[in-house]
């Protein structure tokens, strides 16, 4: 029997209220592992009980099978709308189907509710179907509602609980993050603002040995033995290279990609998910980002750099944050530079969730300089330095604090409740100076960066009067700047 958690019940109430308010297409935002599928199944079953037709749309056949299995688990009658499928039952009120099916059919007679999985990646034909069928209520499921143009399709977003609260409640596990040797992307070509696949692949292969060596070291150092791992590689050839190097070290890692047929990929993933599997790790570019559900995974290796795709970064981390018996945290080994690159935006989403659709959320990020990168990690063990502390929580290394503010990111389980509030207050005071005409926007940003060591990303432009401490710091910063110029 399907039993929902309190925040999942709250999500259902919020969705129903939004439909009552006149919204026809609504986004449900919830972190990966937060139970979006269970909420969707509850909505589907409610339609079936009322005698109305509902469908869940997924972007791959393998995900249709996974969703069908989940419905079977809760003993809910349904059909899979795919020609030749063993569960082809078009008479059932609940249907599971792929986006390609909708494209071929072009219509769905009698449909009252359509639930779209991974709504941030919807195909053009799906968006066209929503536009041409305003009588159908639509719920889009996503953990990353940052794709440009979502606001043109969805008029409202529901966010029942933040990722931080899910971690605190034990519904997700926190991450222990290590900043490892990074793929060098300086001067790399970009396509539509993202680094080209050829560049990412060729540069990723240059540090294959370092990626394998770091994993061997950390899995024994942290867990005492090899643990289930997923590796997000830079490209297909990079994945093959990693597989070979891992196997040379005696560890059975398997690389899967679009070049492999669906049966092979499904068999490999099913084998990997078995408790007694001899497959230690899976390697892929994006196959493991969508719909991959393996809570036993304890280690994630990030080896595919993104210059602007916050969505992909968050989706990847979410695959390691699912709960599992005996699992108290996930280990994240960052060889891509993504964690520091998206740090500000990730902290904002982690702590505050999503309250509105922002078209400008995903844009090319400014690279941290070398000084910022070194300040962000423990010089002894490479772990992310905990915010506001002089001691590394991983190895106990102590370093001298050189200013009143330690401008380094913390591990997610140690994000202090004041960290984001303090940054917001500081930025709001700077905005007061800007809006009063006393400062330029660039000066407000410069003072903020002097204070915290990072740029003010993801903060609201709500002005508040400056405090005495703010004014003193601003004066000192200006004096230091003028002395430097002289």
Domains of the chain: 6-161 (3.40.50.300), 167-367 (3.40.50.300), 416-485 (no CATH)
Does residue 74 have a pLDDT over 80?
A: yes
pLDDT at 108: 85
Residue 153: pLDDT band with limits 50, 70, 90: very high
Longest CA–CA separation in the chain, Å = 81
Share of the chain above pLDDT 90, in %: 50
Mean pLDDT of 418-424: 69
- DSSP code at position 25: E
Radius of gyration in angstroms for the set of CA atoms belonging to the chain, rounded to a whole number: 24
Please tell me the predicted confidence (pLDDT) of residue 338.
Answer: 93
**47-51, 112-116, 129-133, 462-466: segment of lowest average pLDDT:** 462-466
**pTM for this prediction:** 0.77
Predicted confidence (pLDDT) at residue 415 exceeds the cutoff of 80: no
Q: DSSP readout, 161-209?
A: S-HHHHHHTTSB--EEEEE-PPP--TT--EETTEE-HHHHHHHHGGGHH
Predicted local confidence at residue 388, as pLDDT: 64
Q: How large is the average pLDDT for residues 366-376?
A: 78
SS3 assignment, position 464: coil
Angle, helices 61-73/262-273, rounded to nearest 10 degrees: 40
The mean pLDDT value for 16-31 works out to 95
364: confidence class by pLDDT, cuts 50, 70, 90: confident
Residue 103: band (very low, low, confident or very high) from pLDDT cuts 50, 70, 90 = confident
- Token couple for 31: 């972190």
Of 30-34, 38-42, 410-414, 415-419, the one with minimum mean pLDDT is 410-414
Residue 64 is predicted with a pLDDT of 87
Highest mean pLDDT of the ranges 9-18, 61-70, 197-206: 9-18
Whether the pLDDT of residue 123 is over 50: the answer is yes
pLDDT score for 449 = 83
Task: Give Cβ neighbours of residue 361 (< 8 Å, ≥ 6 apart).
Answer: 146, 310, 345
- Distance, CA of 272 to CA of 277 (rounded, Å): 6
Q: Is the pLDDT of residue 303 over 50?
A: yes
More confident residue, 483 or 200: 200
pLDDT tens-place string over residues 166-216: 999 999 999 999 998 889 998 889 888 889 889 999 999 999 999 999 999
* Average pLDDT of every residue of the chain: 86
Tell me which of 1-5, 294-298, 475-479 is least confident.
475-479
pLDDT-derived band of residue 358, with 50, 70 and 90 as boundaries? Answer: low
For residue 370, give the H/E element and its range. helix 370-375
pLDDT range class, residue 411, cuts 50, 70, 90: very low
């Amino acid at each position: 029997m399907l039993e929902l958690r309190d925040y999942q019940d709250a999500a259902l109430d919020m969705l129903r209220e939004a439909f009552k308010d006149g919204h026809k297409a609504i986004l449900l935002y919830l972190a990966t592992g937060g139970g979006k599928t269970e909420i969707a199944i509850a909505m589907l079953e409610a339609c079936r009980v009322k005698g109305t037709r509902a469908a869940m749309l997924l972007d791959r056949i393998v995900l249709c099978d996974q969703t069908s299995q989940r419905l079977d688990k809760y003993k809910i009658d349904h059909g899979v709308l795919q020609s030749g499928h063993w569960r082809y039952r078009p008479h059932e009120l609940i249907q599971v189907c792929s986006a390609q099916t909708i494209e071929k059919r072009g219509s769905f007679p009698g449909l009252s509710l359509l639930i779209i999985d991974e709504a941030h990646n919807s195909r053009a034909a799906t968006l066209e179907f929503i536009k041409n069928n305003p009588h159908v209520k639509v719920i889009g499921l996503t953990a990353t509602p940052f794709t440009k143009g979502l606001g043109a399709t969805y008029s409202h977003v529901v966010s029942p609980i933040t990722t931080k609260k899910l971690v605190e409640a034990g519904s997700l596990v926190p991450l222990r993050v290590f900043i490892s040797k990074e793929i060098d992307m300086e001067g790399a070509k970009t396509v539509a603002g993202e680094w080209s696949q050829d560049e990412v692949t060729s540069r990723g292969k240059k540090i294959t040995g370092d990626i394998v060596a770091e994993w061997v070291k950390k899995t024994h150092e942290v867990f005492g033995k090899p643990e289930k791992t997923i590796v997000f590689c830079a490209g297909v050839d990079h994945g093959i290279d990693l597989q070979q190097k891992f196997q040379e070290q005696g560890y059975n890692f398997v690389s899967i990609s679009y070049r492999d047929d669906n049966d092979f990929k499904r068999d490999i993933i099913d084998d990997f998910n078995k408790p007694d599997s001899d497959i230690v790790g899976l390697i892929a570019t994006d196959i493991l980002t969508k719909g991959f559900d393996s809570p036993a995974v304890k280690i994630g290796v990030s080896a595919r750099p993104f210059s602007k795709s916050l969505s992909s970064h968050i989706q990847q981390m979410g695959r390691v944050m699912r709960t599992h018996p005996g699992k108290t945290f996930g280990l994240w080994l960052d060889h891509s530079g993504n964690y520091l690159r998206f740090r500000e935006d990730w902290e904002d989403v982690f702590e505050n969730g999503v309250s509105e659709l922002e078209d400008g959320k995903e844009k090319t990020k400014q690279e941290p300089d070398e000084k910022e990168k070194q300040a962000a990690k423990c010089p002894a063990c490479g772990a992310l330095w905990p915010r506001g502390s002089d001691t590394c929580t991983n190895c106990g290394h102590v370093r001298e604090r050189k200013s009143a503010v330690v401008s380094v990111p913390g591990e997610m389980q140690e994000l202090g409740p004041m960290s984001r509030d303090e940054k917001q207050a500081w930025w709001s005071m700077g905005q007061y100076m800007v809006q009063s005409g006393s400062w330029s926007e660039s000066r407000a940003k410069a003072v903020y960066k002097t204070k915290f060591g990072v740029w003010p990303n993801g903060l609201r432009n709500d002005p508040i009067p400056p405090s005495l401490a703010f004014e003193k710091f601003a004066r000192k910063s200006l004096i230091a700047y003028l002395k430097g110029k002289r």
